[in-house]
Amino acid sequence: MTDLKTRKYDRQLRLWAASGQTALENSKIALLNATTTGCEILKNLVLPGVGDVTVVDGSTVTEMDIKTNFFLDAHAVGQPKAESAAALLKELNSEVNVQAVNKSPEHILHNDPAFFDTFSVIIATNLHDEETLLLSDICEKGAKTFVSVRCKGFCSLFRVQAPEHHIIEPHTENVVDLRLGNPFTSLRNHAKTYDLDTLDQTDHGHVPFVIVLIQTIEKWKEEHMDRFPSTYQERNEIKAMLKDKMRTPDEENYEEALANVFRLSSTSSVTPAISRLFQDPACENIDAKSAPFWIVARAVRDFVANEGEGELPLAGKLPDMKADTNNYVALQNIYRQKALQDIADVTLRVRCMLQNLQLPESTVPKELIETFCRNSANVNVIRYRTLREELTSQSNANKLLAVLKSDPNAAFSILFRASDRFFKELGHYPGAKPESAIDDVEPLKTQMRYVLHDSGIADDEASTWLETEDCQRAIQNFIRFANKEVPNIAALAGGLVSQEVIKLITHQYTPINNTCIFNGITSTSSVLEL
C-alpha cells in the first residue's frame, strides 16, 4: 500500500488494517435500485474505497426523488437515475470504479441472471418479495453475499444472506489471556526467579503483578494440598495474602494484582463455543474441499489435545501494568515466545495435514494461521438461513410467533411483506392515498394474515396477535408514510447496512445473523434470527 493511500485511509486502517483494506479494494458491489437508502449505503462504501460499484436502476429521476435523495440534483430530473446517482457517488472517491446500468433489476433478474456472476456483494433496496426471493436463489447458487434492504418512513429493515461466514478477527475488547491459573512452563520458571522478600522497596514496587499473583497462588496451593483457589472465600484468602505482602498502602503493582484476582481460573481456555466449533462436522471431517478456516481449526483442535495440554494457542498480548522497563520487557518476551512457539506447532500440523490431503502449502496462508492462533478463543462461524428458507419453511413458526409477541419491532418484518402483497393486489401501497389511508388498514391486516399463515402460524394465533396494541401501533405508523423514504432514517440505515457489508467483506468483527430492524419512532433497534 502506497504512502499516499495509507495517509488517505489512515483512520480506517486502524480498524481493519491493510488486510481488510485489500479485501475492500478487491470487492465488487451491485446496488439494485438507486433509492435514498441505497445511495446512502453506497456513500459509506465508496468513501472507504471498495473496488467496484455498479448502480442498477431503470427509472428516471423525478421531482420527488430530488426532495429525499442527496445524490440526485435538480438538473437530473428526467435523466436516468442510475447514471445520475453514479456520477455524484464517483465524486466521493476517484479511486473507486462506479458504473451505471440503466435497466430495471426486475428485467435483469428475469432475463439475464448471469449478470450477477461477477459481483461479490449484491444489495437490493425496496425490491418486492417475488424478485427478492429470486435474487436470493441466484446468490445462494453463486455463493454470494446478499443484503435485502427495506426503508419506509421511520422504519428500516435489512436482512443478510451469505455463504458460511468465518470470523477470525472479531476484535473482541478487553480479552486478556495471562494463564494465571495454569502458567506455562517458561512463565512459571520466570516467576521463580523473583525473590520478593529480599527486594528493596523500589524494586518490590516494580515487579509485574503477573509475577506477584503467580507466586501468591503457588504459596496458597502449597498450604492447601496443591488445590486451586476456586471459591469466593478462597479468592478472598488470596487477596488477604496480597494485602499482607504490600510494603505501602498504595503499592500499585499489588493493587493491580488485587484487581486481577477475578481472572484466576483453573479451567481450560477452551470455551463451550470453541468446543462446539471443534465438534462441528466440518472440523471433524477434513478433506481436500475443506475451507482453509476448517483446516486451521482442526490443527488447533489437535494442538489443544497434544502440545497445548488442554489450552488454546496463547495470544501473547500483555496489557499495560506497573513495572519498570526491564521487568516488563522480560515478561513480554516470555509471552511472545510462547505465542510464537504455539503458532509454529499449529503451522506444522497444518502443513502435515495439507501434505496428507495432497494440497499445496499456499492453500492455507501463514497469515491466516497466525491470525487464527492469536484470536483462537474468539473465532466464530455463522451459517445464514437463506431468504427462501425463511419465507417458505414453516418449521420456525413457534419461534417467529414468540419473537412477534416479545419484540414490538418484529411486526415490521411482517408488514413489509404484507405491503408487497397489498401492492400486487390493489395496485398501490398502504397509505398512498392520504384521504383514504384509514381504509387500507383492514386490507393490510388481511395480507398480514396471509403472511403469518404462510409462515406456519395458526389462524387463531395470528388473529390474536394482530389485535395487540404493539401490532396496531406498528400498522398505523407503517401506513402513515405510504412508500416514502425519510432522509435521516435512510442515512442511518445506510450506515448500519454498510457497516455490516464491510464486516462481511473483510471477515473482521462479528456481523449480525440475520435481520436488523430500526424503529425511528421509538429510537430502538432489534436484531432477529429469522
- pLDDT 10s digits, 359-390: 999 999 999 999 999 999 999 999 999 998 88
- Stretch (H or E) spanning 418: helix 411-426
Tens digits of per-residue pLDDT, 23-62? 999 999 999 999 999 999 999 999 999 999 999 999 999 9
Q: What is the pLDDT of residue 167?
A: 94
| β-strand partners of 141 | none
Mean pLDDT computed over every residue of the chain: 93
- pLDDT of residue 516 exceeding 90: yes
With vertex at residue 327, the alpha carbon angle to CA 223 and CA 188, rounded to the nearest 5 degrees, is 35
Q: What is the pLDDT of residue 228?
A: 85
Residue with cell 431468504: 387
- pLDDT of residue 173 exceeding 70: yes
pLDDT band per the 50, 70, 90 thresholds, residue 120: very high
DSSP output for 461-521: HHHHHHTSHHHHHHHHHHHHTTTPBPHHHHHHHHHHHHHHHHHHHHTBS---SSEEEEETT
Cell of 252: 500499585
- pLDDT of residue 396 exceeding 90: no
Q: What is the pLDDT of residue 279?
A: 96
CA distance 239 to 257: 8
Contact (Cβ atoms closer than 8 angstroms) between residue 188 and residue 217: no
Residue range 95-115: average pLDDT?
96
CA distance 229 to 74: 72
- pLDDT of residue 182 exceeding 90: no
- Among 316, 372, 315, 387, smallest CA distance to 508 is for 372
Q: What is the pLDDT of residue 169?
A: 92
Residue range 317-325: average pLDDT?
92
Domain at 3-166+486-528, CATH homologous superfamily: NAD(P)-binding Rossmann-like Domain (3.40.50.720)
Residue 74, CB half-sphere, CA atoms under 13 Å: how many?
0
Contact (Cβ atoms closer than 8 angstroms) between residue 139 and residue 127: no
pLDDT band per the 50, 70, 90 thresholds, residue 394: confident
Sheet holding 97-101, edge to edge: 97-101, 52-56, 28-32, 121-125, 145-152, 155-161, 515-519, 524-528
pLDDT band per the 50, 70, 90 thresholds, residue 471: very high
In 65-214 the beta strands, taken as DSSP E runs, fall at 97-101, 121-125, 145-152, 155-161, 165-167
Range of lowest pLDDT (2-16, 67-81, 293-307): 2-16
pLDDT band per the 50, 70, 90 thresholds, residue 267: low
Residue range 147-158: average pLDDT?
95
Instruction: Outline which parts of the chain fall under CATH 3.40.50.720.
Output: 3-166+486-528
CA distance 230 to 225: 14
Map residue 58 onto helix, strand or coil: coil
Residue range 130-149: average pLDDT?
96
Contact (Cβ atoms closer than 8 angstroms) between residue 184 and residue 210: no
Q: What is the pTM of this model?
A: 0.89
Give percent above pLDDT 70 in the chain.
99
Range of lowest pLDDT (218-222, 261-265, 524-528): 261-265
- pLDDT of residue 467 exceeding 80: yes
Cell of 474: 406498528
Q: What is the pLDDT of residue 1?
A: 62
Q: What is the pLDDT of residue 45?
A: 97
- pLDDT of residue 435 exceeding 80: no
Give percent above pLDDT 90 in the chain.
78
Range of lowest pLDDT (1-5, 6-10, 194-198): 1-5
- pLDDT of residue 174 exceeding 80: no
